[in-house]
Structure 1
Amino acid sequence: MDNQQPLAFTGYQKLVIFLLAITQFTVILDFMVMSPLGDMLMKSLNLKPSAFGIAVSAYAFSAGISGLLTAGFADKFDRKKLLLFFYIGFIAGTIFCGMAQSYVVLVAARIITGLFGGVIGSISMAIVTDLFALQQRGRVMGFIQMGFGGSQVLGVPIGLYLANAWSWEAPFWMVAALSICIATLIAIKLQPIVKHLSVQTDRSAYKHLLHTVGKANYRVGFAATALLSIGGFMMMPFGSAFAVNNLGLTNQQLPLLFMVSGVSSLIIMPLIGKLSDKIDKFRIFASASVWMMLMCVVYTNLGVTPLILVMILNILMMMGIMSRMIPSSALTSAVPEMADRGAFMSINASLQQIAGGVAAAVAGMIVTQQSKGSPLQHYNTVGYVIVGISVLGIFLMWRVNNLIKQKVDTNKIVLKEDGVIHEAM
């Protein structure tokens, strides 16, 4: 499955990759900027870690609920129109965040942003699965996931600079302005994506949702995604607070730390994407997971540490995180059939967001802080929990990998029997 010669991209496919990557950049930046703003928000709004954990998880929970609500009809419309609809709603929510002047209003704004922004990733995944063969998706995921690194290289440092210069609301205004420009590009350049409509059934949205959830193979993919998300989200909300209050970094050093981590992501992700299209994706995922577990334990047990060492450890940890995200996304994309892709991706993204919300809330309950500026306590416990969850994640992704191999073998048998070239997964 993974040893075939990688397929080249067409010019239009390259354009689609760019549009999806830049869209993901803004959505991920809107979510990620909450973490580096964490110390500033906790102090300016006088929040405890548990309250900040709720502010972060509010986006994730609303995004998860939105994904479940849209899953039933996600395969019944032009994917371009769906993408634009939810992206415009995301922009409106981000503007609302920039206007927030209290904790309650901020949480409400995060909920609105999550209702729209949380669905964009699943629509993008469905577009990728429609337009790209399985042998291309490792590279596609690598480029699209560069939005994660790009947000750290450019977005988060610039956002922190604006927050330090003006206020914590400034980064949200920056994201909104950039997103308006991108929405215009999508409207002009992206072609309608309607191929999936030709294989649709007459099932209602509710029945389509139940049909998708009811498939045992799909549920394995859902469970794997949920566990990966819990492990990935637990450290994130308190990353900046831990760096400032435990590692001894200053607020002025945080942009540099995030920039260095982001640059490493931009370098690592395309390499891992190419590698996962050439060799076994699961093997890369399992190796990266073990590496990430080791680095999480080391990092969460640090005390006051020089900036250069914190940067190095962040890069090493980022290598593990990124190297498992790309092959796992590519593997999961091969699970659903074409008629179920939109619903599957919506449910999958919903579970990812809900699991992330649970992770942020649980981390908020584990981590404590005696007073403003005092070191966070029990952050290392979060690292140990991540290790346990990651072990279960490896097992579930192994099951996903086996399901895909069976699916490939079945398709080969059908191809031999009727001589028809069937759709690539």
Structure 2
Amino acid sequence: MKQEVIPFTGYQKLVIFLLAITQFTVILDFMVMSPLGDILMKSMALQPKAFGFAVSAYAFSAGISGLLTAGFADRFDRKKLLLFFYIGFIAGTIFCGLAHTYAELVAARIITGLFGGVIGSISMAIITDIFNLQQRGRVMGFVQMGFGASQVLGVPIGLALANKWNWEAPFFMIAGLAIVIAIIIIVKLQPVNLHLAIQKDKSVFLHLWHTVRKRKHRIGFMATALLSIGGFMMMPFGSAFAINNLKISNEQLVLLFTISGLCSLLIMPAIGRLSDRVSKFKIFAIASTWMMIMCVIYTNLGATPFWLVVVLNILMMMGIMSRMVPSSALTSAVPDMADRGAFMSINSSLQQIAGGVAAAVSGLIVVQKTQFSPLENYNIVGYLIIVISIISILLMYRVSKLVADKTIKTDVIKDEVFISE
């Protein structure tokens, strides 16, 4: 059934732009570790297990940070929260560029995760406060274009800088861009504080407990966690697999990320518009099924012509990206306004922790005998993704039912108020 498409106001468009470009830097900071993987593993003589831990260190610290701040998330102006954590993220990214040993790099990633991991949940809370459900599919599509933009612009530029000045250079680039964005947020973004007027819990711990104990929230949390595990398992070793197994060059790797990211930029808004018109769950289920098929094909490849690697990568990214938008839109509709900040913080924490678990587990599964030999057992990761994705579809179906029931109840209340008037 088609739904009415509600247009955006001028200020809403500005908010979308600011949140999208903020997400661009945060996602790029996390994403750039994967294409830098082969360079880092060779320059620091790291085994897959050690590199997997370096990736997961960010995710685990981000998850812990989100849980610690969840009780406070609905007690402050969301603009101030966004700026506080974004400035901390900038500092952590600078420390990553200054790291010279493996231990320093892990410590810097932990610091960056402590601040960067909360930004996504704050952005989601801002989106949910400013935009209604009929607009959120498009909003999620634009904001999550940061994922595609990070591949089109950030990753290729970061790889080029890394090839010229070593792996530290991309982190300085991200920090410089983020400083400019922070200044724009200070000047342009209005306070987001309507939720403060309806906050009921006096204790932050009580508010956190009330958010966790709700059954509908726990269903949303479980769906997000499993979705993240399935999405992150392949990511840490993507570049190492492409170079050592598919036999593409570093120059071709830059082009591969550019093309894949460009396709993501085109896919995300289209899926966002589609999810506002038809069933979000159906889009999610179809995209997940498509992704499972492509993951199995891709992880079982050997030496492959570059053009075929590009085609298969695009097809796989279509599935991955197309399930992100509807799942985010559905999950955002689960909490009420008074609980949104806490819910989004906990949800983001579980997403990050699940991603850390996925990176660590894939690091234990994947084996590389020497720095230049092919990765082994990468196809096992693909098979695990299938199992996890099937469970994710079942959980997301329950989330979609919760959202549908909530929408019906809201409409009934509005009708009763209208009749009484």
Equivalent position of 2:73 in the other structure: 74
- 1:272-421, aligned counterparts within 5 Å? 272-419=271-418
Q: Residue 355 of structure 2: SS of its match in structure 1?
A: helix
Unmatched segments (≥5 aa) in structure 2: none
Equivalent position of 2:209 in the other structure: 210
Equivalent position of 1:258 in the other structure: 257
**How many Å separate the matches in 2 of 1:185 and 1:92?**
18
Q: Give 1:252 deviation, angstroms.
A: 1.6
CA gap of 1:355–1:98, structure 2 versus 1, over 3 A, is same
Q: Residue 389 of structure 1: SS of its match in structure 2?
A: helix
Number of aligned residue pairs: give it.
420
1:59 equivalent in alignment to 2:66? no
**How many Å separate the matches in 2 of 1:65 and 1:186?**
26
**How many Å separate the matches in 2 of 1:417 and 1:137?**
26
Q: Residue 419 of structure 1: SS of its match in structure 2?
A: helix
Q: Give 1:201 deviation, angstroms.
A: 1.2
Q: Give 1:134 deviation, angstroms.
A: 0.3
Q: Give 1:347 deviation, angstroms.
A: 0.2
Equivalent position of 1:47 in the other structure: 46
Q: Which amino acid counterpart does residue 257 of structure 2 have in structure 1?
A: F
Equivalent position of 1:196 in the other structure: 195
Equivalent position of 1:98 in the other structure: 97
Unmatched segments (≥5 aa) in structure 1: none
**How many Å separate the matches in 2 of 1:217 and 1:178?**
38
1:109 equivalent in alignment to 2:108? yes
Q: Give 1:415 deviation, angstroms.
A: 1.8
**How many Å separate the matches in 2 of 1:14 and 1:398?**
31
Q: Give 1:414 deviation, angstroms.
A: 1.6
**How many Å separate the matches in 2 of 1:73 and 1:233?**
28
- Deviation per CA, 1:7-57: give whole Å up to 9, x if none: 000000000000000000000000000000000000100000000000000
**How many Å separate the matches in 1 of 2:254 and 2:309?**
13
Q: Which amino acid counterpart does residue 253 of structure 2 have in structure 1?
A: L
- Deviation per CA, 1:271-290: give whole Å up to 9, x if none: 00000000000000000000
**How many Å separate the matches in 2 of 1:223 and 1:329?**
13
Q: Which amino acid counterpart does residue 306 of structure 1 have in structure 2?
A: P
Equivalent pair of 2:201/2:207 in contact (CA under 8 Å): no
1:230 equivalent in alignment to 2:235? no
Q: Give 1:306 deviation, angstroms.
A: 0.9
Equivalent position of 1:172 in the other structure: 171
Aligned CA-pair RMSD? 0.9
Q: Give 1:420 deviation, angstroms.
A: 8.5
TM-score of the superposition, structure 2-length normalised?
A: 0.99
Q: Give 1:170 deviation, angstroms.
A: 0.3
**How many Å separate the matches in 1 of 2:294 and 2:5?**
32
Q: Residue 72 of structure 2: SS of its match in structure 1?
A: coil
Q: Residue 277 of structure 1: SS of its match in structure 2?
A: helix
CA gap of 1:135–1:162, structure 2 versus 1, over 3 A, is same
**How many Å separate the matches in 2 of 1:31 and 1:212?**
28
**How many Å separate the matches in 1 of 2:218 and 2:51?**
31
**How many Å separate the matches in 2 of 1:189 and 1:417?**
39
- Deviation per CA, 1:249-289: give whole Å up to 9, x if none: 11121110000000000010110000000000000000000
Q: Which amino acid counterpart does residue 219 of structure 2 have in structure 1?
A: V
CA gap of 1:305–1:420, structure 2 versus 1, over 3 A, is farther
Quick one: percent identity of the two aligned structures?
A: 72
Q: Residue 201 of structure 1: SS of its match in structure 2?
A: coil
Q: Which amino acid counterpart does residue 355 of structure 2 have in structure 1?
A: G
Give the ranges of 4+ consecutive aligned residues of structure 1 lying more than 6 Å apart after TM superposition.
none
Q: Give 1:417 deviation, angstroms.
A: 2.0
**How many Å separate the matches in 2 of 1:72 and 1:159?**
36
**How many Å separate the matches in 2 of 1:286 and 1:153?**
27
- 1:105-144, aligned counterparts within 5 Å? 105-144=104-143
Q: Give 1:351 deviation, angstroms.
A: 0.1
- Deviation per CA, 1:107-128: give whole Å up to 9, x if none: 0000000000000000000000
Equivalent position of 2:147 in the other structure: 148
Q: Residue 334 of structure 2: SS of its match in structure 1?
A: coil
- Deviation per CA, 1:137-194: give whole Å up to 9, x if none: 0000000000000000000000000000011000000000000000000000000001
**How many Å separate the matches in 1 of 2:250 and 2:53?**
23
- Deviation per CA, 1:217-275: give whole Å up to 9, x if none: 00000000000000000000000000000000111211100000000000101100000
Q: Which amino acid counterpart does residue 129 of structure 2 have in structure 1?
A: D
**How many Å separate the matches in 1 of 2:39 and 2:388?**
30
TM-score of the superposition, structure 1-length normalised?
A: 0.98
